[in-house]
């Protein structure tokens, strides 16, 4: 189990992408305007900071929601 | 391994550039939204001052994706404007767009030895605003109700882009 909670992950996600509303927690990632090509690089750095590994770009691209991305991070992070 | 590349535009590229530039997702993000005709594009290319403007096509795994450019290059004032658009909608949210930007900003700041960049951006162009903020641009002034002017110094660029450059080098495994 990861030491990083979903709450913390989502808070840092929003902070780094400078998202102000709360919709992002349940929205599809593709519908979040800040989650674009630069946004994905920024989030990969967020994940590296929180979970200590570099996530494959495919996961950033394929995860549909923030919760799904968090689950990937927890799974991937366990092997590091 | 996937590879990004950049090449200076040549005459054979200009109709592809025109096609991209006239697509709604590109045109609607521009300050000038006019439709560009075939002949107008040819005249633009023939009249291009290559000392003050440089246009490049960037590609991913040999597939042309979009255009990055340096314009209004002033070697006396050491200033320029940077621009980018992604023509191929399959790559709209791909890191290759960022790679291409970093590549030409490094070229401008460290090979051409320019010091300051300016950008003119529509206020509802969220991707461009996100990109420029991440590169270190600071808001300068409103030049219209819907248009903002931004400025980027070399020092701010180096500081702001450090982690992005590391990502592209170490993780995406691309040269910069």
CA angle A19–A25–A26, rounded 5-degree value: 130
Identify whether B65 is part of a domain. yes
Indicate whether B57 belongs to any domain.
yes
Whether residue B176 lies inside any domain: the answer is no
Is A1 part of a structural domain of the chain?
A: no
Within a domain: A48: yes
Does residue B99 lie in a domain region? Answer: yes
Task: Provide the number of structural domains found in chain B.
Answer: 1
Q: How far is CA B103 from CA A79, B55, B110, in A?
A: 34, 12, 10
Residues of B in contact with A18 (CB under 8 A): 133
Model confidence pLDDT, tens digit, residues B107-150? 999 999 999 999 999 988 888 888 999 999 999 988 778 899 99
CATH number of domain containing B35: 3.40.630.30
Q: What is the pLDDT of residues A65-76, one digit of tens each?
A: 999 999 999 998
Cβ distance A57 to B95 less than 8 Å, yes or no, reads yes
For residue A64, is it within any domain? yes
State which residue of chain A sits closest to B129, comparing Cα positions.
A34
Please tell me the distance from the alpha carbon of residue A60 to that of residue A55, in angstroms, as a whole number: 8
pLDDT for B11-30, tens place per residue?
Answer: 999 999 999 999 999 998 88
Nearest to B95 among A33, A40, A54 (CB): A40
CA dist B25 and A26 (Å) reads 26
By Cβ distance, the residue of A30, A34, A41 closest to B167 is A41
| pLDDT in the model for residue B30 | 86
Indicate the residue of A33, A38, A44 with minimum beta-carbon distance to B131. Answer: A38
Please report whether residue A61 resides in a domain: yes
Confidence of residue A80 (pLDDT cuts 50, 70, 90): low
Compute the distance between CA of residue A39 and CA of residue A69 in angstroms, rounded to an integer: 14
Q: Is residue B115 part of a domain?
A: yes
The rounded distance, in Å, linking the Cα atoms of B63 and B25 is: 19
- Which residue of A36, A52, A76 is the best one to mutate when testing the B interface, meaning the one whose CB has the most B CBs within 10 A? A36
Mean pLDDT of chain B: 93
Range of the domain at A35: 6-78
Residue B72 in domain: yes
Query: Residue B170's CB: how many other CB atoms inside 10 A?
Result: 10
> Does residue A21 belong to any structural domain of this protein?
yes
Tokens describing residue B140: 């300068």
Within-domain flag for B43: yes
- For range A37-45, the mean pLDDT: 93
Does any domain span residue B24? yes
Inter-chain CB proximity A38 and B134 less than 8 Å: yes
- The residue with tokens 């995860």 is A63
- Within 8 A of A38 by CB-CB distance, chain B residues are 98, 127, 130-131, 134, 164
Whether B95 sits inside 8 A of A33 (CB atoms) is no
Query: What total number of domains does chain A contain?
Result: 1
CB contact at 8 A, A80 and A63: no
Domain that holds residue B81: 4-171
Q: Assign residue A15 the CATH number of its domain.
A: 1.10.1200.10
């Amino acid at each position: 189990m990861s030491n990083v909670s979903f709450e913390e992950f989502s808070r840092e996600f929003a902070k780094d992408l400078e998202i102000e509303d709360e919709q992002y927690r349940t929205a599809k990632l593709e519908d979040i305007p800040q989650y674009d090509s630069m946004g994905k690089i920024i989030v990969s750095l967020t994940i590296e900071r929180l979970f200590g590994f570099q996530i494959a770009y495919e996961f950033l691209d394929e995860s549909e929601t923030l919760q799904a991305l968090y689950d990937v991070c927890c799974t991937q992070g366990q092997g590091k | 391994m996937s590879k990004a590349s950049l090449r200076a535009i040549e005459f054979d590229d200009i109709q592809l550039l025109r096609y991209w530039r006239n697509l709604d997702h590109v045109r609607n993000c521009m300050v000038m939204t006019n439709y560009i005709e075939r002949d107008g594009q040819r005249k633009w290319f023939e009249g291009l001052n290559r000392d003050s403007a440089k246009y490049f096509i960037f590609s991913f795994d040999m597939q042309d994706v979009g255009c990055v450019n340096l314009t209004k290059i002033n070697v006396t004032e050491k200033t320029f404007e940077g621009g980018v658009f992604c023509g191929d909608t399959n790559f709209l949210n791909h890191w290759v767009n960022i790679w291409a930007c970093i590549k030409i900003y490094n070229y401008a700041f460290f090979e051409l030895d320019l010091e300051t960049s300016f950008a003119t951006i529509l206020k509802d162009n969220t991707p461009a605003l996100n990109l420029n903020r991440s590169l270190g641009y600071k808001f300068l002034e409103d030049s219209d109700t819907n248009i903002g002017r931004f400025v980027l110094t070399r020092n701010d660029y180096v500081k702001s882009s450090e982690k992005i450059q590391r990502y592209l080098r170490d993780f995406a495994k691309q040269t910069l």
